[in-house]
Structure 1
Amino acid sequence: MGEVVAMGPARGEAFDPQALPTSRKFLIFGVLAFGQFMALIDIQIVAASLNSVQAGLSAGPDEISWVQTGYLMAELVMIPFAAFLAQALSTRWLFAASAGLFTLASALCGMAWDIDSMIAFRMIQGFVGGAMVPTVFATGFTLFSGPQRAMIPAILGMVSVLAPTLGPTVGGWLTEVAGWRWIFYINIVPGIAVTALALLLVRVDRPNLSMLRKIDYSHLAAMAVFLGGLEYVLEEGPRHDWFGDPSIATAAWLSFVAFLLFLERSFRSGGPIVRLSPFRRPTFAMACAFNLVIGFGIYSSTYLIPLFLGRVRGFNSMEIGTTVFVTGLAQIISTVIAARLSQRADPRHVITVGLVLFSLSLWWTAHLTPDWGFYDLLGPQLLRGFSVMLCIVPSVNLALNGFEQAELRYASGLFNLMRNLGGAIGIAVVNTWLGDQARIHVARMGESLGEAGRSAPDFAAGLAARFAAITPDPVHAALLAQAEMAKAVGRRALTYAFNESFQLMAWMFLAALIMVPFCRPAPQGAPPPADAH
């Protein structure tokens, strides 16, 4: 272990992370990537267990949604802030603190005594864990060059999409086997290990503590209100009539005013916490737009399929988890192919193929029926899992290649923020589509049944005759028949709404192809070594 501790350069020397032995670089990268995986899987690990958490904490339906919303709001604020903290504290201390506090917050979530304490601990967990996500991308591009660097976006891209995909499966299994509190306790041992290994191994830059004395707190507050308010509007809007609800309208105005202040501070502050200078590169701006679209597609499809299986098919958490798991298998296979293509092909060609295939997978899924299950969804999910890596890997290369280390951190934070924003926007939009389209189809089907002459009454009478064998009361049998008919109409209408949501997303991915010709790849050379501060 003495070799590990002594790996850093002497004080006063400049760090050159790329001069580290290859085995040491991969070890550092592996520790960071695993920490990122922990932070990302916890976004969705509670998705399949919310009913159990709600029952365990005696929470209401509106309150339990904040277990997800609070985590996402806090994580969005930290992701762009992490670049500033990495320079001020160093990658080593930021990542170790992030992993350690994430572990502590996970334990507190497991010990939560009511819904208020759970929401508070989840927000802490999301905030401190959010620092691990962009830090890994920036460090990976700093450590490696050439063919080794080509593997970084592939590996981290796989982690970014595999973790949310596995979250519901792992959470559902743990809830069934050990109880819902273990979806949080499971983080404790690996979290302690990541914290200790980060302190021992991750020495790739020096801290610049003087930055903490120049921090612009008004800039930080504006960013927190802007991103937190935006996430609140996106999460609560579909459930509460958007701007017709006073609290949502107020949050939207506060978020907009904070956004204007955030921009003003970004350009005029003497110590901004987020630098927008990476957007001076048109290719970076285009790659961020791609990431926004990709985040929309990944998070929305990951959200819609389990929702369909639960609400239309009536699957439990374990059945949902085993059905969506195949997407992760396809992603693993696609990672190797995408990494090799990134070394040999123009990234614009690779991302074009990825966007087209992703669009086809969504269009294929847009032919759902109320009877679709594992085997019906197998093909579309495999195609979606395979194509998503062909979208992510070239977009990461387009975004992050060519930056020096200081600016690379900010570029990584902004780029990752775009994916999470895309996911938040996507889930809000598809929820709105589902609600609106389901109501429209219920109304249309009601009109069709009314115009169908005797067919609908005859069908209802047939159902009533079946239920008459169960209950001797004819009124009760008629009510059961009407309820069954309404349930069938609702399932069919909701299925149509799911199909239209997938169709609209398919068209959106095809429309994103318009941006491809405007992306000019940066040279593949490594960025200069970091300054020693």
Structure 2
Amino acid sequence: MSTATTMTPSAAPPAVRGDELDIRKVIGFMAMVFGMFMAILDIQIVSASLAEIQAGLSASSDEIPWVQTAYLIAEVIMIPLSGFLSRMLSTRVLFTISAAGFTAASALAATATNIDQMIVYRAIQGFIGGGMIPSVFAAAYTIFPPSRRAVISPMIGLVATLAPTIGPTVGGYISHAMSWHWLFLINCVPGILVATAVWTLVDFDKPDRSLLRKFDWWGLAGMAAFLGSLEYVLEEGPAHDWLQDQVVFLFAIVMSIGAVLFFWRAFKAEEPIVDLKAFANVNFAFGSLFSFVMGIGLYGLTYLYPIFLGRIRGYDSMMIGEALFVSGLAMFLTAPISGILSRKLDPRIMMAIGFLGFAAGTWRMTYLTADWDFWELLVPQILRGVSMMLCMVPINNIALGTLPPERLKNASGLFNLTRNLGGAVGLAVINTVVTDRNAFHYARLAESVQWGSAEAQTQFQNMTRNFETHGGVDAATAAMSKLSGMVHQQAALLSFMDVFYLITVLFALLAVFTMFIRKPPESAGGGGGH
């Protein structure tokens, strides 16, 4: 009897412990999630306030985009590097350094008195802050057992998609209510709290200092040259006719040399900076592909909507932020639903529904007119927000949920890199299509308003008479100027519609493609938590 009594307690706990959550780990993980939110938010938080920063720093129109570009280039180098650093230093040390460094760089950015200082501080902010993003994904699949991922996966999916979506909204509010300096100062107190919480509460892995002796400096140099130059070419290429520009051409050469060096070291080094073996896992490879396309949709529409509202509707940053808040709200409300569905639906079906919903939203935008306002944009924005959340949860689970623990840290860096590269490639393609199609449509429309067109002459005469009734202006010149403006506006609208059509086709095809991937096992093991 005594034997039975001693055996019963010892047999029961393992099954229970697998599902138990250590409150210390949960609070530490929440601090990490908030740190990731700040790092991703800061990509877009300045996008709606660049005019205010430009005026404050007396920067030129050519210089001010570097406030964003410097951050992106530095971040895209750090994201894949973070996997190696996390193994060498431990998640606790890397994340604490990243959060503290990001906070310090934010404070420095607020003190910038010229554009050169701002670019340097933003680069530091992006590089150090980039270490926080993959660490959260790796921690989620390491700390928590598969049974808890229906709660955790929607949370990190929500942060990864919500932060860049509401970035312009938050930035618009802050710069209007206070000043552009607070776009950076607002990070200081939360950043200190995050660094303190992570240092105190996170301790689920140990450092491997022996990796320092095996650090592949040539691999790092190749990766920095490859990814940094790639980001520059994608950012600057559309505005400078790609390789026709001498600087873009030079960076394209550096990118090619860096790529050769990086991939050579990735396969030859004893401990490569980035372990590409994760791509041998079919689910991870497909998940990364889907993440890449999600980056196109996420960052592409976050760019397109403000451009339309600013250029066509004449909205300022505050009005744009208010108009685009709907997508963020839809994501927030869909997150718990997405978690529930992830336990009941085949992830391939979930992704297909999400991709088709996203395609439906962009298809609606192909009927865009110059009069579209908040209410016309409401349904496309809701479809965008809901679909993003329906896609992100199964994509995260498929990509990272079945990897062994020792692969998670490197793999999470690669996975997050694909989303950022998707955004960079997407923005480059979108800018190129908008520019080329705008010129094409303007040429076609201009032909239809030549003097030989009876309809154009009638329109011109009506507009001239209208201006004559007001007096005090050269009616013919004013009418000609307005007619030219109408042609430019219509050409811009048609180019936007072309981009929305291409995105629609891309996501519709991806929905079909989901049916060709293997269904992951019911109990995706992942990094453990057990």
What TM-score do you get using the length of structure 2 for normalisation? 0.94
Please identify, of 147-156 and 269-278, the stretch whose mean Cα deviation from structure 2 is larger: 147-156
Q: Shift of the alpha carbon at 1:18?
A: 6.9
Match in the other structure for 1:39: 39
Match in the other structure for 1:494: 492
**1:513 is aligned with what amino acid?**
A
- Root mean square deviation, CA, Å: 1.7
**2:263 is aligned with what amino acid?**
L
What TM-score do you get using the length of structure 1 for normalisation? 0.93
**2:491 is aligned with what amino acid?**
A
Match in the other structure for 2:238: 238
Match in the other structure for 2:281: 281
Deviations 1:54-80 (A, max 9, x none): 111111111101111111111100000
In the alignment, structure 2 segments of 5+ residues that lack a partner are 1-16
**1:477 is aligned with what amino acid?**
A
Percent identity over the alignment is 45
User: For residues 513 and 257 of structure 1, what CA distance do their matches in structure 2 show?
Assistant: 36
- 1:129 equivalent to 2:125? Answer no
User: For residues 151 and 261 of structure 2, what CA distance do their matches in structure 1 show?
Assistant: 38
Deviations 1:459-499 (A, max 9, x none): 223323333355545xx332222221111111111111111
SS of structure 2 residue aligned to 1:179: coil
User: For residues 515 and 407 of structure 1, what CA distance do their matches in structure 2 show?
Assistant: 26
User: For residues 209 and 69 of structure 2, what CA distance do their matches in structure 1 show?
Assistant: 33
Asked if structure 2 preserves the Cα contact closer than 8 Å seen for 1:364 and 1:380, the reply is yes
Match in the other structure for 2:158: 158
User: For residues 350 and 528 of structure 2, what CA distance do their matches in structure 1 show?
Assistant: 29
Asked if structure 1 preserves the Cα contact closer than 8 Å seen for 2:141 and 2:529, the reply is no
- 1:408 equivalent to 2:375? Answer no
Match in the other structure for 1:509: 507
Asked if structure 2 preserves the Cα contact closer than 8 Å seen for 1:406 and 1:530, the reply is no
Match in the other structure for 1:435: 435
Q: Shift of the alpha carbon at 1:30?
A: 0.7
Asked if structure 2 preserves the Cα contact closer than 8 Å seen for 1:205 and 1:530, the reply is no
- Describe how 1:354-365 pairs up with structure 2 within 5 A: 354-365=354-365
Moved over 6 A (4+): 17-20
SS of structure 2 residue aligned to 1:207: coil
Match in the other structure for 1:300: 300
Q: Shift of the alpha carbon at 1:349?
A: 1.1
Selected match of 2:478 from 477, 480, 483: 480
Q: Shift of the alpha carbon at 1:527?
A: 4.2
**1:204 is aligned with what amino acid?**
F
- 1:146 equivalent to 2:146? Answer yes
**1:210 is aligned with what amino acid?**
S
In the alignment, structure 1 segments of 5+ residues that lack a partner are 1-16
**2:503 is aligned with what amino acid?**
M
Q: Shift of the alpha carbon at 1:514?
A: 4.4
- Describe how 1:348-387 pairs up with structure 2 within 5 A: 348-387=348-387
**2:69 is aligned with what amino acid?**
T
User: For residues 529 and 432 of structure 1, what CA distance do their matches in structure 2 show?
Assistant: 44
Match in the other structure for 2:3: none
Asked if structure 2 preserves the Cα contact closer than 8 Å seen for 1:283 and 1:518, the reply is no
Match in the other structure for 1:227: 227
User: For residues 338 and 451 of structure 1, what CA distance do their matches in structure 2 show?
Assistant: 57
Distance change >3 Å, CA 527–CA 380, structure 1 → 2: closer
Asked if structure 1 preserves the Cα contact closer than 8 Å seen for 2:19 and 2:147, the reply is no
Deviations 1:7-46 (A, max 9, x none): xxxxxxxxxx979843223212210100000001100000
- 1:180 equivalent to 2:180? Answer yes
**1:155 is aligned with what amino acid?**
M
User: For residues 52 and 91 of structure 1, what CA distance do their matches in structure 2 show?
Assistant: 37
Match in the other structure for 2:516: 518
User: For residues 187 and 307 of structure 2, what CA distance do their matches in structure 1 show?
Assistant: 26
Match in the other structure for 2:99: 99
Deviations 1:262-304 (A, max 9, x none): 1110110122111001011122111111111111011101110
User: For residues 393 and 530 of structure 1, what CA distance do their matches in structure 2 show?
Assistant: 19
- Describe how 1:251-270 pairs up with structure 2 within 5 A: 251-270=251-270
User: For residues 452 and 333 of structure 1, what CA distance do their matches in structure 2 show?
Assistant: 55
Match in the other structure for 1:59: 59
User: For residues 407 and 162 of structure 1, what CA distance do their matches in structure 2 show?
Assistant: 27
Asked if structure 2 preserves the Cα contact closer than 8 Å seen for 1:366 and 1:502, the reply is yes
- Describe how 1:292-331 pairs up with structure 2 within 5 A: 292-331=292-331
Deviations 1:378-433 (A, max 9, x none): 01100111011111111111100122222111111111100000000111111111
**2:159 is aligned with what amino acid?**
V
User: For residues 46 and 18 of structure 2, what CA distance do their matches in structure 1 show?
Assistant: 39
